[in-house]
Amino acid sequence: MESGPQTQESSVVATSQDMSHTNKTLPHIKTATELNTAAESSNWTLVNDLLSADGVCRCDVEQCCLLHKLAAAPEVSLSLARDILTKILKHKVDINMLDTNGDTAVVVAARCDNTKMVMELLSRQAALPPDVTHVCSFLQTLTNNWKPQETPYMHALVVKLLWDRLQDTALHSCHKQLHHTLVRLAVTFHTSLVREMFVAEQQVNSVDSEGMAVLHRVAMFDSEDHVRVVLFLIIKGANLNLQNTTGDTPLHVAVKHKNWNMMEVLLHRRGKSDVMDCEQRSVLHIAASFSDPVQFPNIDKILPLLIRNNNDINKEDGEGNTPLHLAALAGNIRFMKTLLDHGARADGVNKEQKTVLHMMATAKNNTSSNVDSLRKVLSLIVKRGAPYQKTDCAGHSALHLGAKNGNWTLVEFLLQLTHKVGDLNSKCHLGDSAIHLAAKCQNWDIVKLLVEEGALIDELDNEGFHVLHKMAMGESVDKDLLSLFVTNSFNFNIPCLAGDTVVHMASRHNNWSMVECLIEHVGNIDEVDSDGLAVIQRLVLSTKGKLPSHFSLFSRLIELGADCTCRDLNGDTVLHLAARNDHWDIVQYLVDLGEGTPAPDSEGFVILHRASVRGIPDSSARELFLSLLKCKPDLDKRTKQGDTAIHLAAKHDQWEVVMILIEHSANIFDCDSEDTSVLQRILRNLCSLQSVVIVQLQVKETAIEQDTNFHKELAFEAARCGNWDVVKFLVDQRVNTHHVDPEGL
């Protein structure tokens, strides 16, 4: 019995102890929750403040994985991240603790592209992955998005920290990947560190997984620091002519990156410029192929060294091109002159049977700033035996390609060799002569030059066009060239394969300036083209580039006897087409000539319909409209859709036209194709004053006593449309408004 009170007392003591423990635990849970919430919401300023508060312990920080969350937040500034990290570590948190994925904070930072946290963690002795393979993977992840121009100081510091930590392993491990990776990073981000990374010649010339030795890596840059590193590596025994997996030597790498300072250093140290890469290109080939004139002075500076270090400047690349071929294609005249002065052969052909002259004809820079220099090089090439009559695999001569590419100087030079250049009218395998190729490419100055030298001008090309057909397809006309054709008694009526003459082609392509020049030389101005249209019809069909010259050209065609009454395949007259395409000055001209306007066109519109839609934008339009009404047209004539002229005017809000038509007794009560009368449109769309004016016109036409039903209907319609000013006007005119309308109102 005595044990009861003792048991009860013990129970009370135990409960009291549990409550005390719970009360102590609750603040810790609250702190950890607050830290976690702040970190999850990216409120790192609050996290920093909470870490400074009393009562925060290591357990709180670890429980919310704060270290890893900070590592995964690259948006946090360096100063704030540094403060937070310092406070985390003050709470004795293990810098190498693992998260639920088994990753340390430094690995998380690398994965999240948070370089500044990697730097901070490494500087505080955070551990790297335990084996070389994982370290290499870590480095790849870390540097994957690094760019040399971004935060260079931070990148350099991280590379230095990594090297200090890993150099023993990198230098002495049989696993070379780590060393190669660190070398690549140092070359790009911490150049001076490269000097510490090599202790033996064997290391200097070893290639990485991408087939690159350190000298290849350094040759990708052109700074003074990289040049100094190259000199150091050469002293250490680096092989200047070592080829990587693509056959590139360091010189190849340097020239492909346009690193001229680096190239000069390598060439002065006897780097060979005749070693061929996997594409059978030497450094000399690559330098010769640069076509940007901005680079020419840099190339000129190193060219003597390139030639000195080359045993065969006539060596061909994989396509059979010598450096001279490539320099010719690039338009680098000074490069060509230097090669020729050093014995380059000019008589070779590549695998497409192209000579150096072919390459010059297709040069990317065919407008030399110094024409005299270009002519001198051309003369030198010919003297050296360049076969100027040679045709390539497509049957093109140098003259063909020069004409095609607009190389005027070369074409002129070749034409001066009149007794040597061969047949001026010879054709390529496709059937085009030099003048055809020039015309196809709109090179009219060269066409003119060829015509003056006697090129045939009336032969058709492989597409069935002669030279003037091609000019007609353009947007302008070379009047001097056209005059030359006239002087040579050219037959302007020769059709193309489709049956169109030059004037047909010009009118089809809206080249009206050329049509204007040609119409004086056309045999039959009314001859139709392959679409059944005469020039005068094409003119009024034209909606592109309508100019005042259209009217003057039209009137000239009429003066020359063009038939303005002709019809197209749809039965439309010239007048119909002019009205449909808004050539109203031509419409006025034809009306003044007495052309009839009553007949509808193929779309069911008479001229008055078209004019009603157009409206009256100016005084000339009013004059034309009144001219049409003088012909006493049928105002009740409807289109295929069922609209009269006044219907169309009202639909298109042409109220001035409506007024004029009302004055000429047009019906405003009949419904249009949308079952709406003109009167309804007037009352719905016009302001009260305009409506009253139009109604006044109607009332004047009919006395109240004469047509009571008319005025009654007018009043009802105005009331339905809510136009009470009109209703008031009619009431003032003593119209009886006490009747009931069909709706019983």
pLDDT in tens, 183-209: 899 899 998 888 888 866 678 998 888
Q: Which pLDDT belongs to residue 26?
A: 44
Residue 48 and residue 372: Cα distance in Å, rounded?
75
Look at residue 9 and tell me whether its pLDDT is greater than 70.
no
Domain layout of the chain by residue ranges? 686-745
Q: What are phi and psi of 567, to 5 degrees?
A: -120, 150
Mean pLDDT along residues 212-218: 94
Decide which of 687 and 516 is more confident. Answer: 516
pLDDT in tens, 131-164: 888 888 998 888 888 887 777 889 999 999 999 8
Look at residue 714 and tell me whether its pLDDT is greater than 90.
no
Residue 175 near residue 135, CB atoms below 8 Å: no
pLDDT in tens, 113-125: 999 999 999 999 9
Residue 513 near residue 477, CB atoms below 8 Å: yes
List beta partners, residue 677.
Answer: 671
Contacts of 540 (CB under 8 A, 6+ apart): 554, 574, 577, 578, 581, 583, 586
Look at residue 719 and tell me whether its pLDDT is greater than 70.
no
Whole-number Cα distances in Å, 226 to 149, 156, 160, 222, 320: 15, 15, 17, 6, 35
Residue 535 and residue 528: Cα distance in Å, rounded?
7
Q: Crossing angle for the helix pair 607-614 and 584-592, nearest 10 degrees?
A: 140
Q: Which pLDDT belongs to residue 343?
A: 94
pLDDT averaged over the chain?
A: 87
Mean pLDDT along residues 534-538: 96
Look at residue 704 and tell me whether its pLDDT is greater than 50.
no
pLDDT in tens, 311-344: 999 999 999 999 999 999 999 999 999 999 999 9
Look at residue 94 and tell me whether its pLDDT is greater than 90.
yes
pLDDT in tens, 489-512: 899 999 999 999 999 999 999 999
Confidence tier at 596 by pLDDT (50, 70, 90): confident
Decide which of 607 and 682 is more confident. Answer: 607
Q: Which pLDDT belongs to residue 210?
A: 86
Look at residue 708 and tell me whether its pLDDT is greater than 60.
no
Task: Find tokens 């994957």 and name the residue.
Answer: 144
Tokens of 283: 């450094």
Look at residue 170 and tell me whether its pLDDT is greater than 90.
no
Q: Which pLDDT belongs to residue 689?
A: 46
Mean pLDDT along residues 23-43: 73
Q: Which pLDDT belongs to residue 209?
A: 84
Look at residue 732 and tell me whether its pLDDT is greater than 80.
no
Q: Which amino acid is at 543?
A: T
Task: Work out the number of other CB atoms within 10 angstroms of the CB of residue 254.
Answer: 31
Note the residue count of the chain: 745
Decide which of 323 and 542 is more confident. Answer: 323
CA angle, residues 360, 362, 366, in degrees to nearest 5: 70
Decide which of 656 and 401 is more confident. Answer: 401
Mean pLDDT along residues 401-415: 94
Confidence tier at 23 by pLDDT (50, 70, 90): very low
Q: What are phi and psi of 677, to 5 degrees?
A: -85, 160
Look at residue 367 and tell me whether its pLDDT is greater than 70.
no
